[in-house]
């Protein structure tokens, strides 16, 4: 989740890492971002549209979505899918909870935070079923692992949960968190690292930012799970829980959307070049063709789910929710098992 417990909504993303997850709840008024629909989405029973708010600008982490779209699988499933890129720091969970978008790409930690705050959301699928948020540093920074964080400066996306997570990691490796300095870099995590303005960053992904950084030298990285944080699903698809229960048409559209997305995921696994081709237009100007190919090749293995596309493990959710609670990242205690459902996914 680019930037720890990051949350986004609106029309073009601002804080990524995507990255672990959490942040202050925004007011409803803050959702009134320019160019975005402010009312509830069309719930006409004859409508087969599905509006999906992305977590960030289109990138290889979304390969299942764009491969399905390029292959025409959404059309074949009878759903008219529109992907929206958020334009500012907002709250995807709140957008879904208010019915301002049908679905959103978010993070497992964000979903648990939303549940603890009483928002009407549930995760219906895992797009990236494992944590890939990482601590990244540069060769010569003096950091060869989390045990070396003392006295160093770490850049984050500005989310409070990121500092909380790094502090926890530091303590697990014998480092006093008070010796670490933090800098809010918003979404610009790479350049300050390249320019050695910070000693490390927390929130970037090795399959995306890591590929970009490799062109500028040696930038070692360590995933949160490698540093002891319980594993969680990096990217999930969230829906409005009550609407799934009360609106059979909405629930069916979500099922059809997920079934088509599963076909896109399978195509990407079978032939990563299919995903590269599908992502070229949506990511135009963001990456070179070589970067895109490398990113996709590194991303596909991270999206493979041994349980079957999108499936989420109840025990893993409960474990991570307990970890979040124990570290002050949840306002109210929640049952991690209730934050997700596999009922709308295609049969394995």
CATH of domain 28-131+234-339: 3.40.190.10
Which segment of 91-100, 154-163, 187-196, 258-267 scores lowest on mean pLDDT? 154-163
The whole-number pLDDT of residue 7 equals 34
* pLDDT of 71 above 90: yes
* pLDDT of 53 above 80: yes
Mean pLDDT, rounded, for 47-59:
91
Q: At 91, is the pLDDT very low, low, confident or very high (cuts 50, 70, 90)?
A: confident
Mean pLDDT, rounded, for 230-250:
97
Tokens of 151: 């006295």
Mean pLDDT, rounded, for 69-75:
98
Which segment of 81-90, 108-117, 169-178 scores lowest on mean pLDDT? 81-90
The whole-number pLDDT of residue 345 equals 98
> Residues of CATH 3.40.190.10 domain(s) within the chain?
28-131+234-339, 134-223
* Summary mean pLDDT of the chain: 87
The whole-number pLDDT of residue 59 equals 96
For the stretch 318-336, pLDDT in tens is: 999 999 999 988 888 888 8
CB-side neighbour CA atoms (13 Å) of 230: 16
Q: How many whole angstroms separate alpha carbon 190 and alpha carbon 212?
A: 8
Tokens of 30: 């803050």
Q: What separation in angstroms does the CA of 138 have from each of 20, 144, 183, 219, 269?
A: 21, 9, 16, 4, 32
Contacts for 329 with CB less than 8 Å, ≥ 6 apart? 5, 22, 109, 113, 161, 164
Strand partners, 223: 134
* Domain 134-223 = CATH 3.40.190.10: yes
The whole-number pLDDT of residue 92 equals 87
Mean pLDDT, rounded, for 269-290:
97
* pLDDT of 34 above 80: no
Q: At 348, is the pLDDT very low, low, confident or very high (cuts 50, 70, 90)?
A: confident
* pLDDT of 1 above 70: no
Mean pLDDT, rounded, for 7-23:
35
The whole-number pLDDT of residue 90 equals 55
The whole-number pLDDT of residue 129 equals 98
* pLDDT of 2 above 80: no
* pLDDT of 264 above 80: yes
| DSSP result, 131-192 | ---EEEE-TTSS-SSGGG-TT-EEEE-S-HHHHHHHHHHHHHTT--GGG-EEEE-TT--HHH
Which segment of 44-48, 211-215, 231-235 scores lowest on mean pLDDT? 44-48
Contacts for 56 with CB less than 8 Å, ≥ 6 apart? 2, 8, 13, 16, 18, 19, 85, 86
The whole-number pLDDT of residue 232 equals 95
The whole-number pLDDT of residue 29 equals 38
Higher pLDDT, 337 or 294: 294
Higher pLDDT, 242 or 57: 242
Higher pLDDT, 8 or 210: 210
Residues 276-314: b if buried by 16+ CB within 10 A, e if exposed: bebbeebbeeebeeebbbbbbbbbbebbebeeebbbbbe
Q: At 157, is the pLDDT very low, low, confident or very high (cuts 50, 70, 90)?
A: confident
* pLDDT of 17 above 90: no
Tokens of 11: 């029309």
Instruction: Give the residue among 108, 101, 92 at the shortest CA–CA distance from 56.
Output: 92
Please report which helix (H) or strand (E) contains residue 276, including its range: helix 272-280
Percent of the chain with pLDDT strictly greater than 70: 84
For the stretch 205-225, pLDDT in tens is: 999 999 999 999 999 999 999
Q: How many whole angstroms separate alpha carbon 15 and alpha carbon 3?
A: 7
Percent of the chain with pLDDT strictly greater than 90: 74
* Residue 114 near residue 236 (C-beta atoms within 8 A): no
């Amino acid at each position: 989740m680019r930037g720890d417990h990051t949350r986004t909504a609106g029309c073009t993303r601002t804080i990524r890492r995507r990255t672990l997850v959490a942040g202050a709840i925004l007011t409803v008024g803050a959702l009134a971002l320019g160019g975005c629909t402010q009312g509830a989405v069309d719930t006409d029973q004859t409508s087969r549209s599905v509006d999906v708010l992305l977590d960030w600008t289109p990138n290889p982490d979304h390969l299942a979505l764009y491969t399905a779209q390029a292959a025409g699988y959404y059309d074949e499933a009878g759903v008219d899918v529109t992907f929206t890129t958020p334009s500012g720091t907002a709250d995807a969970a709140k957008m879904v909870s208010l019915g301002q978008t049908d679905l959103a790409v978010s993070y497992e930690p964000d979903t648990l935070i939303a549940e603890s705050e009483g928002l009407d959301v549930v995760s219906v699928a895992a797009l990236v079923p494992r944590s890939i948020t990482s601590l990244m540093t540069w060769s010569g920074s003096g950091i060869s692992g989390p045990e070396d964080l003392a006295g160093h400066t770490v850049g984050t996306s500005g989310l409070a949960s990121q500092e909380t997570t790094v502090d926890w990691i530091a303590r697990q490796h014998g480092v006093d968190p008070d010796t670490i300095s933090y800098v809010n870099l918003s979404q610009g995590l790479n350049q300050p690292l390249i320019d050695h303005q910070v000693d490390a960053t927390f929130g970037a992904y090795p399959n995306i930012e890591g590929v970009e950084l490799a062109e500028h030298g040696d930038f070692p990285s360590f995933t949160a799970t490698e540093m002891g944080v319980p594993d969680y699903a990096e990217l999930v698809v969230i829906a409005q829980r009550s609407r799934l229960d009360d609106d059979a048409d909405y629930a069916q559209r979500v099922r059809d959307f997920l079934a088509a997305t599963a076909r896109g995921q399978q195509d990407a696994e079978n032939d990563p070049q299919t995903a590269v081709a599908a992502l070229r237009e949506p990511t135009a100007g963001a990456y070179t063709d070589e970067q895109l190919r490398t990113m996709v090749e590194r991303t596909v293995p991270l999206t493979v789910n041994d349980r079957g596309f999108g499936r989420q493990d109840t025990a893993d959710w409960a474990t991570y929710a307990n970890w979040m609670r124990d570290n002050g990242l949840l306002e109210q205690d929640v049952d991690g098992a209730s934050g997700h459902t596999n009922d709308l996914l295609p049969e394995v």
